[in-house]
Structure 1
Amino acid sequence: MSAAEAGPAAGPGPGTARPDDAAEQAPRTALDRQVATYFQHLTIERGMAPNTVAAYRRDIGRYTRFLAGRGIGDAGDVTPRLLSDFAQDLRDGNDGGAPLTARSAARTVVAVRGLHKFWALEGVTPDNTAADLKPPATGSRLPKAMSVADVAAMIDAVPADTPAGLRDRALLEFLYSTGARISEAVGLDVDDLHAIAEDAGEADGPAVVRLFGKGSKERIVPVGSYAARALQAYLVRARPLLVTKGRGTPALFLNLRGGRLSRQSAWTLLKTAAERAGISADVSPHTLRHSFATHLLEGGADVRVVQELLGHASVTTTQVYTMVTAETLREIYATAHPRAT
């Protein structure tokens, strides 16, 4: 069993209080209570995914520690000057944490702006103290996409003669075929797959999968024939063996102990496959999602269709991939046209 699949060390049981439980259950200051209300809003009213809420907690936690260091115990005591100092300290590391990149600092500032906007709307503060706080410029960063040949080489590098290999190949084919986020893929149950016939090529129309994205939003995405065949091989030849090692679970992708595969294990198996294929570029599960979108657009897919497949709330988020394809066209033009340079 790999270290990645060993799972986290056993923690306190359900009835055991964690060291930070008291702080969460009984906020110590007015500011603690005001922040706790905001996270209830994100979780219950806005329905944010746990991973998204956790990211907000990290960013806002850095902010509240900064305020505590300045003796601030109530949202009403925050001034625009304090906010400006915090934004600067993010880049300098003077808030007690490591200095952040422009992109990470901008993300933290956006989280703090959202917090203050909520306080103003709820009447916690008379106005939005952070209304004029500007995140630092980050520049544009295009998503990284693999070539079609590299994707194929990475998948082909996975041996398909063991249960783990069949699972790994099915997962990689699935990620590239659907553009699913890694959290969506490992969160799937077998029943979320539809029309995976014994002979995938004879299914009545393409197979489809039900994915649950951010905010528990559901979408239906087609599964290509390569992925359908890989999934069928895994379901018939590998999953039955893996599930017997656990207590029984509806999860689609299983680890070697018969439990649900974790995101960390999925990340590890993808990097291992890239290394076997001799791919030197940094590869992550999100790389396959980027590649899925880029290759669809290069193949002529409408950006609105890609938006639906990716589960983006706004087409603006999807349009960044059109910049990737435009960059590819410029590179081809520069090398192929006799008067390009």
Structure 2
Amino acid sequence: MTWEKEINAFGYYLKIERSLSENSLLAYRQDVEKLAAFMEKNFPDCTPVTTELYHLRQFVNKLASGNISEFSQARIISGIKAFYKYLLYEDKIADSPALLLEAPKLTRTLPDTLSYLEIESILEAVPMGQPGGHRNRAMLEMLYSSGLRVSELTQLKKGHYFEDIGFLRVLGKGNKERLVPVGKSAAKYLRIYLEDVRKQGPIAKGHEEYLFLNNRGKKLSRVMVFLIIKKMAARAGITKKVSPHTFRHSFATHLVEGGADLRAVQEMLGHESITTTEIYTHLDRDYLRQVLNEFLPGNKE
């Protein structure tokens, strides 16, 4: 049993049984290939099934001593754990040596968000009288009101939008589908774009079903969405670093701070784990200070 053979089999398992995207497959393969290179150099007699926790800890120590961020170390360790979970699933090992392998503790940073007024100012900055204006307004409204990832937005097709019930069928990470509601304002501008604007422009062959098209009639690229948002944020006078993900973060933050159920937010965002969604439970510091001063007896005037 060689490392190359098992890594190839692992990749096939991830593709067929886990339905992971090509980018995710590549990332998992690269993580395990790093381990394989280390083992072949330092423990050439060890195979994937004879590797023990001691060897894996030596590999992790090597990562930590190099110029690799803690985030990257944690991701690589996660890939190795998945590899040994696969070997366990296939009955090629009796116990996973990676079970007790510890990843570095990561400091969870709060994502950049925009206030509702800042979101509004960016939306209002879209020049509706210019080519692409109605498309850009509908696109930004949808990013905010549905919390989409940029890749989910660019892959949307006309058949994914159910106007009668106000929902989108979104294809997220790992090809997992979810239904996401569309806000009233987003639905309004999307209707204008689809009925009055999109039909008037060119539509390239093979791109007929995509929802948002560029000036040549092809689906919008991720880069184009980034550039549009950056330009609109500048027009609105927003000095923060704004990206499509900022809209997603703001969507989630505003819902949670408004009292939305965390499980509902998790479902709309397409998070596999509720832990990922919990990062949005931070509250405005001024609000917390107000609650403290208003309700704690010793702080009342």
Return the TM-score normalized by structure 1. Answer: 0.77
> Structure 1 pair 292/256, CA: closer, same or farther in 2 (3 Å)?
same
> Structure 1 pair 331/92, CA: closer, same or farther in 2 (3 Å)?
farther
1:287 aligns with 2:259: no
Structure 1: which 5+ runs fail to align? Answer: 1-28, 94-98, 196-203
Paired residues for 1:197-208 under 5 Å = 207-208=166-167
Structure 2: which 5+ runs fail to align? Answer: none
Paired residues for 1:40-79 under 5 Å = 40-70=12-42, 72=44, 74-79=47-52
User: Could you tell me which residue of structure 2 aligns to residue 112 of structure 1?
Assistant: 80
> Structure 1 pair 68/152, CA: closer, same or farther in 2 (3 Å)?
farther
Residue type of the partner of 1:167? R
The alpha carbon displacement at 1:185 in A equals 1.3
Structure 2 distance, partners of 1:330, 1:311, is 29
The alpha carbon displacement at 1:149 in A equals 1.0
1:82 aligns with 2:52: no
Q: Is 2:14–2:25's contact at 8 Å kept on the other side of the alignment?
A: yes
Paired residues for 1:1-341 under 5 Å = 30-70=2-42, 72=44, 74-93=47-66, 99-195=67-163, 207-245=166-204, 248-322=207-281, 324-325=282-283, 329-330=287-288, 339=299
Structure 1 distance, partners of 2:294, 2:127, is 38
Secondary structure of the corresponding residue to residue 325 of structure 1: coil
The alpha carbon displacement at 1:109 in A equals 0.9
> Structure 1 pair 305/90, CA: closer, same or farther in 2 (3 Å)?
same
Q: Is 1:180–1:289's contact at 8 Å kept on the other side of the alignment?
A: yes
Secondary structure of the corresponding residue to residue 139 of structure 2: helix
Structure 2 distance, partners of 1:209, 1:117, is 34
Structure 2 distance, partners of 1:63, 1:315, is 30
Residue type of the partner of 2:112? K
Residue type of the partner of 1:35? I
Residue type of the partner of 2:113? A
User: Could you tell me which residue of structure 2 aligns to residue 22 of structure 1?
Assistant: none
Structure 2 distance, partners of 1:210, 1:333, is 39
> Structure 1 pair 280/256, CA: closer, same or farther in 2 (3 Å)?
same
Residue type of the partner of 2:86? F
Structure 2 distance, partners of 1:273, 1:218, is 30
Q: Percent identity?
A: 36
Q: Is 1:189–1:250's contact at 8 Å kept on the other side of the alignment?
A: yes
Secondary structure of the corresponding residue to residue 72 of structure 2: helix
Residue type of the partner of 1:307? Q
Residue type of the partner of 2:176? K
The alpha carbon displacement at 1:63 in A equals 3.1
> Structure 1 pair 113/274, CA: closer, same or farther in 2 (3 Å)?
same
Residue type of the partner of 2:92? V
> Structure 1 pair 148/111, CA: closer, same or farther in 2 (3 Å)?
same
> Structure 1 pair 135/224, CA: closer, same or farther in 2 (3 Å)?
same
Structure 2 distance, partners of 1:64, 1:108, is 12
Structure 2 distance, partners of 1:215, 1:135, is 23
The alpha carbon displacement at 1:187 in A equals 1.0
Structure 2 distance, partners of 1:60, 1:278, is 45
The alpha carbon displacement at 1:193 in A equals 1.0
The alpha carbon displacement at 1:227 in A equals 0.7
Q: Is 1:75–1:125's contact at 8 Å kept on the other side of the alignment?
A: no
The alpha carbon displacement at 1:174 in A equals 0.4
Structure 1 distance, partners of 2:40, 2:239, is 45
Structure 2 distance, partners of 1:240, 1:262, is 20
Structure 1 distance, partners of 2:125, 2:238, is 11
Q: Is 1:162–1:238's contact at 8 Å kept on the other side of the alignment?
A: no
Q: Is 2:148–2:248's contact at 8 Å kept on the other side of the alignment?
A: yes
Q: Is 2:144–2:248's contact at 8 Å kept on the other side of the alignment?
A: yes
Return the TM-score normalized by structure 2. Answer: 0.86
Residue type of the partner of 1:276? R
The alpha carbon displacement at 1:123 in A equals 3.3
